[in-house]
Amino acid sequence: MNFDMGIPKLQGLTNRHVIGLIAGAFIFFGIVFVTFEIFWKTDVKPEFVKSGRFVQTIVASGHVENPHRLSISAQITATVADVPVVDGESVEKGQLLIVLENKELQSALRQAQASENQALSNLRQLRELKAPVAIQNSIQADANLINAKNNLARTLELFSQGFISSTARDEAERSFKIAQSQLYINQQQSESLRPGGSDIVLGQDMVNQAHAAVEVAVARLRYTSIQAPRAGVLITRSVEVGEGVMPGKVLMVMSPKGATQLVLQIDEKNIKWLHLAQMALASADAFSDKKFQAQLVYINPRIDPQRGSVEVKLDVKDPPLELKQDMTVSVDIEAARIENAMMIPLSTVHGYEIHEPWVFLIEGGLTRKQTIDVGLVSQGVVQVLSGLNVGDMVLPNQYSHLGDRSRVRVIR
């Protein structure tokens, strides 16, 4: 075979032909390069490693509750005569809430008062009449005894001289003994009617007993007027006129004025981040655009085994006017705060669940798998401890079809 057949043809080419061929080759390879750049690179919108304040929050929902709710109930069995308040009404301390029928109790009070007046009259009679009479009787008995004693002495002397009989002597002795006995009785009566004496003490006891009966009657009558123990708002009312009530039955529930609390159930895995005095930002679901401050004041030491949660309570010092009892609220509790922290979206991190985090770092138009150390996580943002620098570009997980050393074009 003759391999030199094409050489003469090449030798026949002019310089212009050679330059044209070279230019055509450059154009061809340029088109190929541009086509490769266009069709063999993936456009990506990266996330940047940023530096700033990192705040970790625990998000939970709960409800509004007053820490000192009061249940209003009757203390006696009776029939409701009037209920001058309604649900949701603001009441002041001492305001009348419920009136019970009281005719029978009013009669009992009048009877007790009459008994007390009688006992007082008896005591006054002992002091003002019987005591002075007893004193005078004692004086008279003492005088009678002196006379009987003198008469007995004369009688005995006459009897010894034989001037009178033994019968007269015996009569004088009997009169003396009677006078002694009468004096003793009068003295005892007089002592019992003096201050501290048995009759006076007994009379005073009767007065005290009657007075106690009046107090009981007054108290029972007072039970027929159920008043607000504190100022606040009536949350519920479950009683109507004509209804029979008995002790222990809840008739109304009242929310006193004072501290308002938010009661939440926090997942037990977040307990390590909770501590007293933590601040939180809350909002009622009905007014989500109105945020207010709350502070953690109580952590239940017991875990709810059914829900795997712990109950916490937060005080609201300045609750908005729209905040009502039992409203549903959403709360963000600040668990940690770090200044100048490196952060990236959690959506750019691979292997986070298995504690082997890594990202696709974009450098020079290529992706590169980069292992990182992470810290706190909050609201879709993760703190980067090492492996990246501020300003680095990382590939979001939405480009999961790309792998290590993939060619990419960054778009803004």
CA dist 177 → 152, 157, 191, 411 (Å): 10, 18, 21, 136
pLDDT at 282: 93
Q: What is the mean pLDDT of residues 303-323?
A: 88
Cα angle: 83, vertex 87, 90; to 5 degrees: 95
Strands 358-363 and 328-345: unpaired
Q: What is the pLDDT of residues 374-387, one digit of tens each?
A: 988 888 899 999 99
The CATH number linked to 48 is 2.40.420.20
What does pTM read for this prediction? 0.47
Question: Side-chain half-sphere of 87: how many Cα atoms within 13 Å?
Answer: 9
Does residue 155 lie in a domain region?
yes
What pLDDT shows up at residue 15? 60
Q: Tell me the average pLDDT across 401-408.
A: 87
Report the alpha-carbon distance of residue 252 to residue 240 in Å, rounded: 11
270 & 245 share domain: no
pLDDT value at residue 311: 93
Does a structural domain hold residue 134?
A: yes
Say if residue 76 is in the same domain as residue 148: no
Strands (E), 218-308: 225-227, 232-237, 244-245, 250-256, 260-267, 279-284, 292-304
> Which band of pLDDT confidence, cut at 50, 70 and 90, is reported for residue 254?
confident
Average pLDDT (331-354) is 90
Distance from C-alpha of 117 to C-alpha of 121, rounded to nearest angstrom:
6
Does 196 share its domain with 271? no
| Co-location of 115 and 142 in the same domain | yes
Domain membership of residue 34 (yes or no) is no
Kindly state whether residues 276 and 326 are assigned to the same domain. Answer: yes
Give the pLDDT confidence of 160-187 residue by residue, as tens digits.
888 888 888 889 899 989 988 988 888 8
Residue 11 pLDDT greater than 60, yes or no = no
Mean per-residue pLDDT, 106-124 = 91
> Which helix (H) or strand (E) covers residue 385, if one does?
strand 381-386
Last residue in a domain, options 221, 247, 269: 221
Q: Are 124 and 197 spatial neighbours (Cβ–Cβ below 8 Å)? A: no
Whether residues 364 and 397 share a domain: the answer is yes
Mean pLDDT (the chain, rounded)? 85
211 lies in the same domain as 267: no
Segments forming the whole domain that contains residue 376: 44-53+339-410
* Six-digit token string for 68: 């000192």
d(CA 106, CA 81) in angstroms, rounded, equals 15
Measured CA to CA, the distance from residue 21 to residue 258 in angstroms comes to 93
Q: Are residues 377 and 399 both part of a single domain?
A: yes
Residues in the chain, overall count: 412
* Together in a domain, 334 and 272: yes
Query: Residue 35: pLDDT above 70?
Result: no
Q: Structural domain tally of the chain?
A: 4
Asked if residue 280 and residue 238 are part of one domain, the reply reads: no
Copy the structure tokens of residue 302.
Answer: 């017991």
Query: What six digits make up the tokens of 353?
Result: 């669940």
Task: Confirm whether 1 is domain-assigned.
Answer: no
Question: 395, exposed or middle or buried, with CB in 10 Å at 0-12, 13-18, 19+?
Answer: buried
Cβ count within 10 A of residue 12? 8
- Establish if 25 belongs to a structural domain: no
One domain, residues 237 and 287:
no
pLDDT at 24: 63
pLDDT at 9: 45
Do 157 and 300 fall within a single domain? no
Q: Is residue 38 part of a domain?
A: no
- Does residue 10 lie within any of the structural domains? no
Cβ of 17: how many Cβ atoms within 10 Å? 11
Residue 409: is its pLDDT beyond 80? yes
Flag whether pLDDT at 129 surpasses 90: no
CATH of the domain at 321: 2.40.30.170
